[in-house]
Amino acid sequence: MSSQTKLLTMKGISKSFGKAVVALDDVQFELEAGEIHALLGENGAGKSTLIKVLTGVEERDKGEVELEGKKIYPKSTNEAQQVGISTVYQEVNLCPNLSVAENIYIGRAPRTKMGAIDWNAMAKNAQELLEKFDLKLDVNKSLDNYSVAVQQMVAIARASDIQAKVLILDEPTSSLSKVEVDKLFDIMKRLRSEGMGIIFVTHFLDQVYEVTDRITVLRNGHYVGTYKTSDLPRVELVSKMIGKDYAVLNQTLQKGQSDKEKTKTGDVFVSMKNVTHQGSINNMDLSIAKGEVLGLSGLLGSGRSETARVLFGIDQVTGGELEINGEKVHLSHPLDAIRKDLAFCPENRKTEGIIGDLSIRDNIALALQAKKGLFKKISKKEAQKIADEYIKKLEIKTPDADQLIKNLSGGNQQKVILARWLATEPELLMLDEPTRGIDIGTKAEIQKIVIDLAAEGMAVLFISSELDEELRCCRRIVVLKDMEKAGEVTGEDVNEAAVMHIMAGGND
């Protein structure tokens, strides 16, 4: 590759947080124009920190960044954008309350001759731009009317319009449906062909092999290497990421599979009989037994999370009945559910999960405290013990339990939320996308924990848009479609083809 095409180089980048956390230690990274470059590594490896250094969100302690041969030192995302570096985070960094058009033209709105904002021109330009990306939106509507996927596409359209040279996507696909991911990839490929350099952070290895040209791996804040994607077999990639032989991980995965067979289904713990919640689920019949991991499958919007919300008392039953341990119950609030030994780990950690300014310890103790009631305060010592236990068990990467949760990497925050609900020692554990954003090694560990809990008698409702994961953990899968139960598979029939068949609308 000639040096002419070298778009971006980062050299000797180091960044520490306090004395205890070395997030990056002498890391290098290189991006060509017209390539899609995956930045990979386990949770806490330093991927997001490297990107924050590049975009001026965090100041580097050491190192150099060059864009097209010129040293740059952006001190804010705005400055980064001015030199041509645009970022789309998973939690979209646009302004949800402003209109779609305003979001695209923020800080650079077209003006009339009199100097006022030319709203008509703005709407028209926005419309034309989005059409190039096959997006048909009402540009005058506020952005939060649209899905995360669409919001991300708008952010990308904006980046393309301001002629960004470097586009950074930090886990953009973790909450997108297959169709949306395909669309995003089409757009990425188009921008690549126009000469943009794209940095893509993801935990989905299939996607890495589908769309990237090169891969850089980080491990524990260190640079491991850069490889051509087509030259790096998947097992080697995983070994480089986890720093041990892939065979070890594979053993864990296979153990999960055989352990699953050991779980024994006991009495029914919870059942929904013909349950409806207006507007989200219809006539749902579903039961989960003690010792069972029941998978809930279906396309985005089919009613998976909605089912869990009703079971947890967030949304009320408007028709039908709910039974726990054979008794009719009415859950009017999540606290009712928690006190009946239910737990629900929701999918969206940013809005339904973490309390950023609390420590890891306090975040973990939260649900247990709610369960005990405010008059039975959990002592700091007790909370510490529980937190330490889960930090170890889930391999949460942190110097100690005192750290504020907002300082953890994305995947490690997810683990804290999981710990919070495990700590309540529930009889029914509902997990909505529990391994989203979690690296491949820990993913296998979490699946194993779920199976072990069931083997000890816990009932588990397991929701995941990754079918492999459900197939690995569940001996029975209920498939939803259009807010209703479309069918279920058990035993021998728990396989991809059978589930897909029902999802697609085949008769069971």
Binding site for ligand ATP (CB under 6 A): 17, 21, 23, 41, 43-49, 397-398, 407-412
E strand or H helix at 187, and its extent?
A: helix 178-193
Sheet-wide strand order for 222-228: 85-89, 166-170, 197-201, 36-40, 214-219, 222-228
Strand pairing report for 70-71 and 62-67: antiparallel
Handedness of CA 32, 37, 42, 43 (dihedral sign): positive
Smallest distance from ligand ATP to CB 464, Å: 18
44 binds, among ligand ATP, Mg ion, none (CB under 5 to 8 A by kind): ligand ATP
Q: Which of 201, 261, 202, 215 is nearest to 51 (CA)?
A: 201
Contacts (CB under 5 A) with Mg ion, residues 14-73: 48
Smallest distance from ligand ATP to CB 345, Å: 17
Identity of the residue, 141 or 406, whose beta carbon is nearer to Mg ion in the bound complex? 406
Smallest distance from ligand ATP to CB 107, Å: 26
Give the one residue of 410, 434, 441, 487 binding Mg ion; rule: CB under 5 A: 410
Sequence-separated contacts (24+) of 267-271 with Cβ below 8 Å: 267/325, 268/326, 269/324, 269/325, 269/427, 269/428, 269/459, 270/311, 270/322, 270/323, 270/324, 270/325, 270/342, 270/428, 270/459, 271/322, 271/323
86 binds, among ligand ATP, Mg ion, none (CB under 5 to 8 A by kind): none
Identity of the residue, 47 or 361, whose beta carbon is nearer to Mg ion in the bound complex? 47
Site string for Mg ion, 100-119 (x = CB under 5 A): --------------------
Identity of the residue, 171 or 306, whose beta carbon is nearer to Mg ion in the bound complex? 171
Q: Which of 231, 227, 198 is nearest to 215 (CA)?
A: 227
Identity of the residue, 403 or 424, whose beta carbon is nearer to Mg ion in the bound complex? 403
Identity of the residue, 39 or 479, whose beta carbon is nearer to ligand ATP in the bound complex? 39
Smallest distance from Mg ion to CB 44, Å: 8
Residue whose C-beta lies closest to ligand ATP: 411
Smallest distance from Mg ion to CB 43, Å: 8
Identity of the residue, 175 or 398, whose beta carbon is nearer to ligand ATP in the bound complex? 398
23 binds, among ligand ATP, Mg ion, none (CB under 5 to 8 A by kind): ligand ATP
